[in-house]
Amino acid sequence: MTRTRPLPRDDLRALDGYHSPQVEVDTRLNTNESPYAPPAAFVERWLDALRTVEWNRYPDRAATDLRTSLGAFLGQPAGRLLCANGSNEVLQTLLLTYGGAGRRALMFEPTYALHAQIARGTGTDVVAGERRADYAIDPDDAIETMERTRPSVVFVCSPNNPTGTVESRDTVERLADAAANLGTLLVVDEAYGEFAQWSALELVSEDLPLAVVRTYSKVWSLAGVRLGFAVAPTWMIAQLEKVLLPYNLSVPTQVAGAIALDFSSEMEQRVAGLVEERGRLFATLAATDGIEVCPSGANFLMFRVGGDAHELWKRLLARNVLVRDFSSWPRIEGCLRVTVGTPEENDAFLAALDETLPEVVT
Ligand SMILES: *Cc1c(COP(=O)(O)O)cnc(C)c1O
C-alpha cells in the first residue's frame, strides 16, 4: 500500500512561514522588543500571586480581573476588551470572525507582514493598497480602494511597522467613517501606540466599526508572556468571544497583565527614555552620508542605504549587531530597520555602522 500524506488546504500551499531570524548576538535590535526587563518588584508580586493559584482548575474564562483592571487603566468599560495570547491572536480572532473564505482584507503596503499572513491563514483574500511616498496612507486613495474592492476588514498599522509612520487622527476618522458606511471592520494596530503622540483609542465608540489592538509585548516589557488586547464596541467583542477558544488565557498571563498595570509609571519612564534615544538615533542617522532615515513614532527607525543594504546587514551581524533586513521587500528595497535599544546598544549599533557603512556605500 502506498501511503498518502494529508494535503494542507489548497490556498495555504503557496504560504511562506514567518521569517525573522532568532540569532544569538550581543546587540539584538531586530524585533522591537523592550531592551529593559520589567521591574523586579513586578516579577516578585507576580510570582507571589501564582503561589496560591488552584492549578487543577481552568482559568477565569472571562479574564474578569484583567479586563476590569485594564479597562480602568484605559478608561474603557471591561465589555469593550478582548484579551488573547499576544495581539497576533487578537488579530487572528478578528479575521476568523470578520474575514474568512470569500472575504477580503485590505492593508496598505509596506506594513506588518503578519496582517497578510494571518489573513491568509484564515482563508481571507488579501488586497494590497498603496501608500504615499512618505509612507502615510492617502485617505482619498484608501477610501476609493475600499469602495472598489469591498474588503470585510481593513488594517491600519499606526505607528506603522516597519516604516514608523503615524497616521493622522483625520485619516483614521475618515477611514472609520468610510468603514461604517460600507459595513467594513477597521482594525488599527497600535502595537507601538504608546510611543506616538495620539491614539485611536479615543475614537472607539459603540457607533464605529473600529477595533484598536494593543500589546504587552513592547512597552510593557512582556514579550515573553504573550498578551495582547483589542478595544472595540461591546457588540463586536460579543461576536469575537464566540470565536475565541475557551480558557485561551492562562492564569499566569491573566495575573501578569493585571499586576503590570500597577507599574505604569515605570513603563512610562521606559517609554520616555526610548523616545529620547529614538531622537538621538534619528539625528545621528539623518546626519550620516549614505543613509536616509524615516521619521518614526515608534521604538524603531527604518533607513534606506545608498548602497548594498543586505551586505550592510551582514557586516553589522558580523560585528554582533542584529537589525532587521528589509532590503528585498517590495517598496522598501534597500532598507533596514533598527530597534531603539539601551543607550549602550544604540552606541554599539552606531559604532558598527560607522565601520561598515563606508564599505558598502556606492
Ligand atoms: C510587535 C507587533 C505586534 C505584537 O504582536 P504580539 O503578538 O502582541 O507580540 C503586533 N503588531 C505589530 C505591528 C507589531 O509590530
Q: Are residues 239 and 95 in the same domain?
A: yes
CATH code, 16: 3.90.1150.10
Amino acid (one-letter) located at 360: V
Strands (E), the chain: 27-28, 81-84, 104-108, 125-129, 153-157, 185-189, 210-215, 228-231, 291-293, 300-305, 321-322, 324-325, 335-339
Instruction: Answer whether residue 346 is part of any domain.
Output: yes
Identify the pLDDT of residue 139: 98
Residues 76 and 192 in one domain: yes
Does residue 1 form part of some domain? no
Residue 227 lies in a domain: yes
Q: Do 131 and 242 belong to one domain?
A: yes
**Which of 210, 233, 263 is at the close of a domain?**
263
Say yes or no: 236 and 279 in one domain: no
Instruction: Report CA(214)–ligand 1 centroid distance (Å).
Output: 8
My answer on whether 59 and 133 are in the same domain is: yes
- Atom 2, ligand 1: which residue's CA is nearest? 191
Quick one: 168 and 145 in the same domain? yes
Express each pLDDT in 79-133 by its tens digit: 999 999 999 999 999 999 999 999 999 999 999 999 999 999 999 999 999 999 9
Q: How many domains is the chain built from? A: 2
Q: What share of the chain is helix, strand, coil (3-state, %, to 5)?
A: 45, 15, 40
Report the pLDDT value the prediction gives residue 320, as an integer from 0 to 100. Answer: 97
Ligand 1: residue whose CA is nearest its atom 12: 191
- Are 220 and 132 contained in the same domain? yes
Q: Which domain holds residue 110?
A: 50-263
Helix (H) or strand (E) holding 118: helix 113-121
| CATH assignment at residue 136 | 3.40.640.10
Report the C-alpha gap between 338 and 360 in whole angstroms: 18
Shared domain check, 328 and 300: yes
- Determine the 3-state secondary structure of 186 from DSSP: strand
Instruction: Report pLDDT for 332.
Output: 98
d(CA 172, CA 131): 14
Average model confidence (pLDDT) across the chain: 96
Same domain, 19 and 58: no
Per-residue pLDDT, 21: 72
* 88 CA → ligand 1 middle, Å: 6
Per-residue pLDDT, 88: 98
* Closest atom of ligand 1 to CA, residue 87: 8
Residue 44 near residue 229 (C-beta atoms within 8 A): no
Q: Which residues of the chain are under the pLDDT cut of 70?
A: 18-19
Question: Given 263, 293, 328, which residue is the final one in a domain?
Answer: 263
For residues 105 and 218, state if they share a domain: yes
Q: Which of 218, 245, 263 is the last residue of a domain?
A: 263
Q: Looking at the CA of residue 32, tell me the nearest atom of ligand 1.
A: 1
C-alpha of residue 2 to centroid of ligand 1, in Å: 43
Who lines ligand 1 at CB under 6 A? 32, 86-88, 112, 157, 161, 189, 191, 215, 217-218, 223, 228
Q: Which atom of ligand 1 is nearest to the CA of 228?
A: 8
Same domain for 273 and 204 = no
Give kind and range of the element (H or E) at residue 66: helix 64-74
Coil vs helix vs strand at 202: helix
Q: Is 37 helix (H, G, I), strand (E, B) or coil?
A: coil
User: Based on the domain organization, do 315 and 212 belong to the same domain?
Assistant: no
C-alpha cell at 237: 467583542
